[in-house]
């Protein structure tokens, strides 16, 4: 038992992992069908947008900043996909996917330039971008538009034998995994940890920051495709729902808002915990407005628990 505790203390995402296990068990108790493998593709399909918004928020936080606009960017991309590209005849995957991902990356990099070059405060830059994206989404598709091309539906259910959501989450995870094998993630963590040290040692801090926000944009783009796959219609009104969930997943996953410390795996657990809360409360027949209340409680309590009970190592170091 002590060994398990020690293991958990060394993992910043320990609380999110424990929470996931507990919530998963509760979900199975409340609705036993949750454990039925035939439901898993659909479950993953509804989870994918959460996970990807969380992924999208992670690189900027690791770099010592913050991107609040990734949620609306996800909705914006799904709106562009369904309400612009499909009617224009560009809905097939080989046209739409590259266009959407490039667009999303550019939006992210604009945030990065505003922060790293123009030197706006990250909250100012990305809240500005948040409103711009919400406004654009609602202008482009004031009312929900149904998807004309249906190929993407498989991404939220199954493609052949595999759950389609594994492709979207998996694509983002693979990109991160590959980046970890390059010098980029080390440079990113060092920049977030101490930008002075990184700059003084010859890291191109400006480029690293811009790329971090760009990478967040790319993940948000994948999230937008996953969202369109799930809904099969453009729901610009969703923008506000996702706006802060990503950040909540990051924080719950044990990533430090000060930058330089955290992991994508933690964000995945954080996002899954949030998703499971939602599922549990919905299955238990709780009103939807109370779900947000529950998010808030879990987030605050979760961060407190991680910072006190589970971080003996950190405290020992200070003394």
- Which window, 151-159, 182-190, 235-243, 298-306, contacts another protein (CB under 8 A)? 182-190
Q: Which of 36, 139, 197, 240 binds another protein (CB under 8 A)?
A: 197
Query: Shortest approach of another protein to residue 199 CB, angstroms?
Result: 6
Residue 203 touching another protein (CB under 8 A)? yes
Q: Report phi then psi at 309, rounded to 5.
A: -60, -45
Q: Are 214 and 105 in contact (CB under 8 A)?
A: yes
3-state class percentages of the chain: helix first, strand second, coil last, to nearest 5: 75, 0, 20
Q: Report phi then psi at 254, rounded to 5.
A: 90, 10
Residue 64 touching another protein (CB under 8 A)? no
Contacts of 167 (CB under 8 A, 6+ apart): 155, 159
Q: Which of 61, 84, 109, 198 binds another protein (CB under 8 A)?
A: 198
**What is the contact mask toward another protein in residues 246 to 275, using x (rule: CB under 8 A)?**
--------------xx--------------
Residue 9 touching another protein (CB under 8 A)? no
Contacts of 236 (CB under 8 A, 6+ apart): 75, 79, 134, 137, 138, 140, 141, 142, 144
Any idea what DSSP says for residue 39? G
Residue 201 touching another protein (CB under 8 A)? yes
Any idea what DSSP says for residue 118? S
Q: Report phi then psi at 217, rounded to 5.
A: -60, -45
Residue 208 touching another protein (CB under 8 A)? yes
Distances (CA, A) of 1 to 20, 22, 288: 19, 17, 38
Query: Shortest approach of another protein to residue 78 CB, angstroms?
Result: 30
Residue 182 touching another protein (CB under 8 A)? yes
Helices 40-62 and 264-283 pack at an angle, to 10 degrees, of: 140
Residue 40 touching another protein (CB under 8 A)? no
Residue 288 touching another protein (CB under 8 A)? no
Q: Which of 32, 37, 160, 202 binds another protein (CB under 8 A)?
A: 202
- Taking CB under 8 A as the criterion, which residues in 290-319 touch another protein? 317
- Which window, 68-76, 114-122, 154-162, 189-197, contacts another protein (CB under 8 A)? 189-197
Contacts of 112 (CB under 8 A, 6+ apart): 60, 209, 210, 211, 212, 213, 214
Residue 184 touching another protein (CB under 8 A)? yes
Q: Are 40 and 211 in contact (CB under 8 A)?
A: no
Q: Are 63 and 109 in contact (CB under 8 A)?
A: no
Residue 10 touching another protein (CB under 8 A)? no
Q: Which of 9, 31, 138, 194 binds another protein (CB under 8 A)?
A: 194
Query: Shortest approach of another protein to residue 265 CB, angstroms?
Result: 16
Q: Which of 29, 88, 106, 207 binds another protein (CB under 8 A)?
A: 207
- Which window, 30-38, 145-153, 159-167, 184-192, contacts another protein (CB under 8 A)? 184-192
Q: Rounded to whole angstroms, how far apart are CA atoms 188 and 142?
A: 38
In what helix (H) or strand (E) does residue 163 lie, and over which residues does it extend? strand 162-163
Question: Which parts of this chain interact with another protein (CB under 8 A)?
Answer: 179, 182-184, 186-187, 189-190, 193-194, 196-204, 207-208, 211, 260-261, 317
């Amino acid at each position: 038992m002590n060994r398990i505790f020690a293991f958990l203390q060394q993992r910043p995402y320990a609380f999110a992992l424990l929470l996931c296990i507990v919530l998963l068990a509760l979900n199975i108790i409340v609705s036993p069908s949750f454990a039925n493998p035939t439901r898993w593709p659909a479950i993953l399909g509804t989870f994918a947008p959460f996970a990807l918004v969380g992924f999208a928020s992670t690189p900027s936080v690791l770099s010592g900043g913050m991107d609040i606009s990734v949620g609306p960017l996800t909705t914006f991309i799904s709106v562009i996909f369904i309400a612009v590209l499909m009617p224009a005849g560009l809905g097939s995957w080989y046209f739409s996917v590259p266009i959407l991902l490039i667009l999303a990356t550019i939006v992210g990099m604009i945030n990065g330039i505003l922060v790293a070059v123009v030197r706006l405060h990250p909250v100012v830059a990305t809240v500005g971008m948040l409103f711009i994206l919400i406004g654009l989404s609602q202008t482009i598709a004031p009312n929900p538009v149904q998807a004309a091309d249906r190929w993407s539906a498989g991404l939220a259910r199954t493609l052949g034998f595999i759950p389609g959501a594994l492709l979207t989450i998996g694509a983002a995870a693979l990109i991160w995994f590959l980046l970890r094998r390059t010098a980029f993630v080390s440079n990113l963590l060092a920049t977030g940890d101490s930008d002075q040290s990184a700059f003084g040692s010859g890291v191109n801090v400006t480029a690293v920051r811009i790329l971090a926000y760009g990478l967040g944009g790319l993940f948000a783009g994948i999230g937008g495709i996953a969202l369109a796959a799930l809904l099969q219609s453009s729901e610009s009104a969703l923008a506000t729902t996702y706006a802060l969930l990503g950040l909540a997943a990051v924080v719950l996953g044990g990533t430090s808002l000060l930058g330089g410390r955290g992991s994508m795996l933690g964000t995945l657990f954080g996002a899954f915990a949030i998703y499971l809360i939602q599922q549990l409360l919905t299955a238990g027949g709780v009103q939807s407005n109370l779900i947000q209340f529950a998010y808030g409680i879990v987030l605050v309590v979760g961060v407190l628990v991680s910072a006190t009970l589970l971080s003996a190592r950190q405290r020992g170091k200070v003394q």
